[in-house]
């Protein structure tokens, strides 16, 4: 049954505010950066097949902080190579933030940025209508597959764009994280499957296994301090709760039973550890790397 609760994604301004607070309260970007600097370089070294020009697509890039780190590692592995970077991002605010970041960072002359203010499915349509034959060497979709109607179809489309030796990188919350537990318990109440999927890397692996697609995977340890969620009426706690549940104004609009159940589960040992008066939620991420269709 569709949830009567409104999805947070419908309110971009509140979504971006809560995402920013989530970044401040978690080690989300830190653990991604560790992966990008320690594991990704070997993956990036294997792409391109010796070409002097590489095509990259970032889907759901947000403000671009993580994208620029990836591009910098790519440059170190392929010095002297030029890069065409397609950015696919529906939020005007985030796209603006990304452009500002690029304008402030020196040394990006080897990259040509193309700004696509659109969703992943809008980009797919645009690609098909324009009959594009360009292939991509590296595509990433980091923490965005929750927001497409059909994550499997989205993966299929972007995988079909990969060139020889190309790689598709997906990062989502791990099936073993607190998010996985929360969503397995409350999927029907919290997830409006038209716009937000509550999908984890566990789900994506099952999908890929069923299609016989091979992949590499990694687990990234990450935490999120959700202590403020337990102070009734705390503004930041409410923003974090919206982000956790993907529901707009969760505290004010959820039924008392749902709210009580979610609050109890969030601090349950399946989701969090409590220490020194803090509630630390398991925000572990999963990384999946897929090759070109064989």
Ligand X SMILES: C[S@@+](CC[C@H](N)C(=O)[O-])C[C@H]1O[C@@H](n2cnc3c(N)ncnc32)[C@H](O)[C@@H]1O
Flag whether 73 is marked binding: no
Q: Minimum distance between the CB of residue 58 and ligand X, rounded to whole angstroms?
A: 8
Q: Judged by CB under 6 A, which of 74, 142, 198, 240 binds ligand X?
A: 142
Instruction: Kindly tell me which residue out of 91, 174, 227, 245 binds ligand X, with binding defined by CB under 6 A.
Output: 91
Q: Is 286 in the site for ligand X (CB under 6 A)?
A: no
Residue 28 marked ligand-binding: yes
The dihedral region occupied by 198, where left means phi > 0, alpha psi between -120 and 50, and beta the remainder, is left
Residues ≥6 apart with Cβ < 8 Å to 290: 155, 159, 167, 168, 170, 208, 213, 215
- The residue (of 120 and 208) whose beta carbon lies closer to ligand X is 120
State the number of binding residues for ligand X (CB under 6 A).
18
CA–CA distances in Å: residue 240 to residues 4, 68, 235: 20, 26, 9
CB of 258 to ligand X, least distance (A): 23
Choose one: 136-144, 160-168, 247-255, 276-284; the region binding ligand X (CB under 6 A): 136-144
- Give the one residue of 89, 124, 137, 203 binding ligand X; rule: CB under 6 A: 89
Q: How far is the CB of 232 from ligand X (least distance, A)?
A: 27
Long-range pairs, 16-21, Cβ under 8 A, ≥24: 16/91, 16/93, 16/94, 17/239, 18/239, 18/240, 18/242, 18/243, 19/62, 19/243, 21/236, 21/239, 21/240, 21/243
Q: Does 94 bind ligand X (CB under 6 A)?
A: yes
Q: Which is nearer to ligand X, 44 or 144 (CB)?
A: 144
Q: Which of 18, 26, 61, 189 binds ligand X (CB under 6 A)?
A: 61
Q: Which is nearer to ligand X, 19 or 186 (CB)?
A: 19
222-to-52, 107, 162 alpha-carbon distances in Å: 36, 31, 30
Residues paired with residue 166 on neighbouring β-strands, in sequence order: none
Kindly list the residues in this chain that would bind ligand X in the complex (CB under 6 A). Answer: 19, 59-62, 66, 88-91, 94, 119-120, 142-144, 147-148
């Amino acid at each position: 049954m569709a949830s009567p609760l409104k999805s947070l994604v419908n309110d971009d301004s509140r979504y971006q505010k809560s995402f920013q607070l989530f970044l401040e309260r978690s080690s989300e970007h830190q653990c991604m950066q560790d992966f990008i600097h320690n594991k990704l370089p070997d993956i990036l070294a294997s792409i391109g097949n010796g070409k002097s020009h590489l095509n990259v697509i970032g889907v759901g890039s947000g403000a671009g902080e993580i994208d620029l780190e990836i591009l910098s590692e790519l440059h170190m592995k392929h010095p002297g190579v030029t890069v065409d970077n397609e950015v696919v991002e529906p939020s005007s605010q985030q796209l603006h933030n990304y452009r500002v970041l690029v304008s402030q960072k020196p040394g990006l002359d080897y990259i040509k940025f193309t700004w696509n203010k659109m969703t992943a499915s809008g980009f797919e349509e645009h690609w098909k209508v324009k009959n594009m034959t360009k292939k991509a060497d590296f595509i990433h979709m980091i923490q965005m597959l929750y927001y497409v109607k059909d994550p499997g179809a989205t993966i299929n489309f972007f995988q079909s764009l990969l060139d020889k030796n190309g790689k598709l990188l997906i990062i989502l919350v791990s099936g073993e994280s607190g998010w996985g537990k929360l969503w397995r318990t409350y999927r029907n109440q919290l997830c409006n499957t038209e716009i937000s999927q509550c999908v984890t890397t566990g789900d994506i692996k099952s999908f890929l296994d069923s299609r016989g697609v091979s992949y590499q995977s990694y687990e990234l340890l990450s935490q999120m301090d959700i202590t403020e969620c337990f102070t009734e009426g705390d503004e930041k706690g409410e923003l974090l709760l919206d982000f956790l549940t993907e529901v707009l104004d969760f505290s004010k609009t959820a039924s008392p039973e749902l709210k009580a159940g979610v609050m109890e589960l969030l601090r349950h040992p399946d989701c969090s550890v409590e220490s020194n008066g803090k509630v630390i939620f398991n925000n572990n991420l999963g990384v999946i790397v897929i090759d070109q269709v064989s």
